[in-house]
Amino acid sequence: MTTQSPAVDLARASAPEGVPEDLLAWVVGIAELTGPAKVEWVDGSQEEWDRLTSEMVESGTLVRLNEDRRPNSFLARSLPSDVARVESRTYICSEREEDAGPTNNWADPAAMKETLRGVFAGAMAGRTMYVVPFSMGPLGGDISKLGVEVTDSPYVVANMRIMTRMGTPALDLIKGGEFWVPAVHSVGYPLIDAEGNEWPDVPWPCSEDKYITHFPETREIWSYGSGYGGNALLGKKCYALRIASVIARDEGWMAEHMLILKLTNERTGRSYHVTGAFPSATGKTNLAMLQPTIEGWKVETVGDDIAWMRQGADGRLYAINPEAGFFGVAPGTGRSTNPVAVDTLTENILFTNVALTDDGDVWWERLTDEAPAHLTDWQGNSWTPDSEAPSSHPNSRFTAPAAQAPTIADDWEDPAGVPIDAILFGGRRASNVPLVAEAYDWEHGVFMGATVASEQTAAAEGTVGALRRDPFAMLPFCGYNMADYWGHWLRMGEKLGENAPRIYQVNWFRKDADGKYMWPGFGDNSRVLDWIIRRVSGEVDAVDGITGRMPRAADLDLTGLDLAPEVLEEIFRVDPAAWAAESDATEAYLEQFGDKVPAEVRDQLARLRERIAAAQGRSGE
């Protein structure tokens, strides 16, 4: 066959044998549009990893770390303009605007496709286009799903090899006729421009212009201009949350921004599984790797960021971790806070935007109590403890194989998932929200999740510390109208009935007048998990409160914890006046969703107000 574009011939010639015609046609079409110099179908092998990482060391994209200290590990430094997800450039392109809803950026799908055709035209000129088949979830699992990312970034390929089941086995499943999601990615930095001029490559190619776009009806992803994290590793937020949330709505399951952990009672041998939705950089990885400070519990890790959940044959809710690695926040990860993460990061790790030590290892704020005397910071500049800026970017990350975590649970790759006993909703709240409260029922739990607010972090662009609503920690990740998503949660609750997990709201981040965290957090969060499991198994009663049921003073295990009684009281304090203001703000917040807000959610707001009024009556306010 003869064609007008050499890229088309390359795409065909490079395809492994037996690639289905629809996949081949799609890859050929992208090659024709983007005009790469080479096309490479990745197999996911060690040899391929070795070759790609060596090439990136050669080109200056990666620094190879000291082989004795951090074998087979590398450091990448991005541009300061490409360090986090860009929510302002993230679009849901549903046919109807109301299906994206007021919390998403909407764009007309036909118009956006036109724009994308423009920016992607010639975008890969001079580069290699990698074709990356991957599975989200264990290969061949019932809950798992397949995708193919086409990318011009070898850094993305290397990350995808850690974060997903990537390569030949995934392609084999696609050859077998399984459903797959197409995902197109370009850093938007061609090496040959439209006039035919050649440009040298740079260590971190990207574009000022960025588009992270999703087409929920056709289940497509197109991402342009960024090489960083969730903008570029398209299996993660783009697929496993934004597109999967839409598929889940249509098919009656759930795609959630949740960690999954396993707790075993060492006395009885009984195991429990808990999921938790916390906004970005708000403690999922840390909780998933928690080391209990109280006796009697073993905590193991199933997942640290995303959960796909389905009702099983026994009526219970089962969760899988669709990912194969952790893309974790580096700063704050240290021996004293998260020793499990530190022990996971020993080898085979990609680090991005952390500091380099003089002996070729990595460092970031609070990895050790004392900073090294000299470092090269995340922008490549000389750094000492006297330097004003931190050595690592606040959203610097490690990409680590999940299987390397010393706490990885034996059932973490069970294709059927793990049965869920409790669901947590958390946020960063300096005030008002108590350490833990149990939802009165599923509908109240949905209300809790729907109204969660949290202080913003460095995981996305925006003002760090600004309080914003982040319902179900899904604000940047829900692929459809948020109010319809609440409706979906309510329907799931009806379906699950008696088998539905209990729901809890938690807050590790309450601060005192001096701005210091009052609750020690991290391993001590096991004290809260302990109470939750004892509630779930019916061992303890609770006290009805304004925001939910709270622990009786004697039921929270505080053994060995040096916490003044007045501090503990403050951590649990629920101020009726403050909650009256919160509920007014909630009402205003719900307004933007108009009549899409489920009646149950409005009803829960009315009940919250009744509880506030009753408390105010009691205290004579």
Chain residues binding ligand GTP by CB under 6 A are 278, 280-286, 304-305, 328-329, 331-332, 337, 459, 508-509, 517, 521-522, 525
Which tokens belong to 471? 């319902």
Toward ligand GTP, which CB reaches closer, 305 or 570?
Answer: 305
Q: Does 155 bind ligand SPV (CB under 6 A)?
A: no
What is the CA 293 to chain-centroid distance, rounded? 26
Q: Does 214 bind ligand SPV (CB under 6 A)?
A: no
Residue 279 CB, nearest approach to Mn ion (Å):
8
Measure the CA–CA gap between 601 and 449, rounded to whole angstroms: 10
Residue 276 CB, nearest approach to ligand GTP (Å):
9
Residue 476 CB, nearest approach to Mn ion (Å):
9
DSSP 593-621: TGGGS-HHHHHHHHHHHHHHHHHHHHTT-
Query: 331 touches which of ligand SPV, ligand GTP, Mn ion, none (CB within 5 to 8 A by kind)?
Result: ligand GTP
Residue 213 CB, nearest approach to ligand SPV (Å):
15
**220: enclosing H helix or E strand:** strand 220-224
Q: Does 405 bind ligand SPV (CB under 6 A)?
A: no
SS3 per residue for 104-164: CEECCHHHHHHHHHHHHCCCCECCEEEEEEEEECCCCCCCCEEEEEEECCHHHHHHHHHHC
CA atoms within 13 A on the CB side of 569: 3
Residue 84 CB, nearest approach to ligand GTP (Å):
9
Residue 461 CB, nearest approach to ligand SPV (Å):
11
Residue 391 CB, nearest approach to Mn ion (Å):
23
Q: Which listed residue (305, 455, 530, 600) binds ligand SPV by CB under 6 A?
A: 305
Q: Which listed residue (141, 188, 229, 322) binds ligand SPV by CB under 6 A?
A: 229
Residue 526 CB, nearest approach to Mn ion (Å):
22
Residue 65 CB, nearest approach to Mn ion (Å):
25
Which tokens belong to 86? 């860009």
Q: Does 327 bind ligand SPV (CB under 6 A)?
A: yes
Measure the CA–CA gap between 62 and 2, rounded to whole angstroms: 39
**Cα separations in angstroms, 413 against 19, 136, 325, 579:** 27, 11, 12, 42
Toward ligand SPV, which CB reaches closer, 280 or 454?
Answer: 280
Q: Does 237 bind ligand SPV (CB under 6 A)?
A: yes
Toward Mn ion, which CB reaches closer, 280 or 391?
Answer: 280
Query: 545 touches which of ligand GTP, ligand SPV, Mn ion, none (CB within 5 to 8 A by kind)?
Result: none
Query: 230 touches which of ligand SPV, Mn ion, ligand GTP, none (CB within 5 to 8 A by kind)?
Result: ligand SPV
Size of the site for ligand SPV (CB under 6 A): 9
**Cα separations in angstroms, 90 against 2, 4, 428, 463:** 38, 34, 24, 17
Q: Does 242 bind ligand SPV (CB under 6 A)?
A: no
Residue 113 CB, nearest approach to Mn ion (Å):
28
Q: Does 470 bind Mn ion (CB under 5 A)?
A: no
Which tokens belong to 263? 């707790």
Query: 469 touches which of Mn ion, ligand GTP, ligand SPV, none (CB within 5 to 8 A by kind)?
Result: none
Measure the CA–CA gap between 247 and 99, rounded to whole angstroms: 14
- Beta-carbon contacts of 270 under 8 Å, excluding residues fewer than 6 positions away, are 264, 537
Q: Does 323 bind ligand SPV (CB under 6 A)?
A: no
Toward ligand GTP, which CB reaches closer, 73 or 456?
Answer: 456
Measure the CA–CA gap between 81 and 359, rounded to whole angstroms: 28
Residue 618 CB, nearest approach to ligand GTP (Å):
32
Toward ligand SPV, which CB reaches closer, 145 or 611?
Answer: 145
Query: 278 touches which of ligand GTP, ligand SPV, Mn ion, none (CB within 5 to 8 A by kind)?
Result: ligand GTP
Helix residue spans in 176-298 (DSSP H): 229-232, 244-251, 284-288
Calculate ∠ Cα 156-157-158, nearest 5°: 90
Max CA distance (Å), the chain: 86
Which tokens belong to 286? 């840390």
* Terminal Cα distance for the chain, rounded: 83
Toward ligand GTP, which CB reaches closer, 305 or 443?
Answer: 305
Toward ligand SPV, which CB reaches closer, 325 or 598?
Answer: 325
User: Given the rule CB under 6 A, which of 228-236, 318-326, 560-568, 613-621 is the region that contacts ligand SPV?
Assistant: 228-236
User: Given the rule CB under 6 A, which of 230-238, 422-430, 495-503, 550-558 is the region that contacts ligand SPV?
Assistant: 230-238
Residue 295 CB, nearest approach to ligand GTP (Å):
20
Instruction: Determine contact, residues 473/455, Cβ cutoff 8 Å.
Output: no
Toward Mn ion, which CB reaches closer, 395 or 547?
Answer: 395
User: Given the rule CB under 5 A, which of 305-313, 414-422, 442-450, 550-558 is the region that contacts Mn ion?
Assistant: 305-313
Query: 275 touches which of ligand SPV, ligand GTP, Mn ion, none (CB within 5 to 8 A by kind)?
Result: none
Toward Mn ion, which CB reaches closer, 239 or 593?
Answer: 239
Q: Does 459 bind ligand SPV (CB under 6 A)?
A: yes
Toward ligand SPV, which CB reaches closer, 26 or 326?
Answer: 326
Q: Does 235 bind ligand SPV (CB under 6 A)?
A: no
Toward ligand SPV, which CB reaches closer, 456 or 526?
Answer: 456
Toward ligand GTP, which CB reaches closer, 94 or 280?
Answer: 280
> Strand, helix or coil at 226?
coil
Measure the CA–CA gap between 511 and 506, rounded to whole angstroms: 14
To which residue do tokens 């490549």 refer?
380
Residue 92 phi, psi dihedral angles, 5° rounding: -110, 115
- The CA radius of gyration of the chain, in Å to the nearest whole number, is 24
Q: Does 438 bind Mn ion (CB under 5 A)?
A: no
Among candidates 522, 173, 495, which has minimal Cα distance to 341? 522
**Cα separations in angstroms, 37 against 11, 27, 32, 156:** 10, 14, 11, 18
**Cα separations in angstroms, 532 against 260, 263, 510:** 15, 11, 19
Q: Where does this chain bind ligand SPV (CB under 6 A)?
A: 85, 229-230, 236-237, 280, 305, 327, 459
Q: Where does this chain bind Mn ion (CB under 5 A)?
A: 280, 305
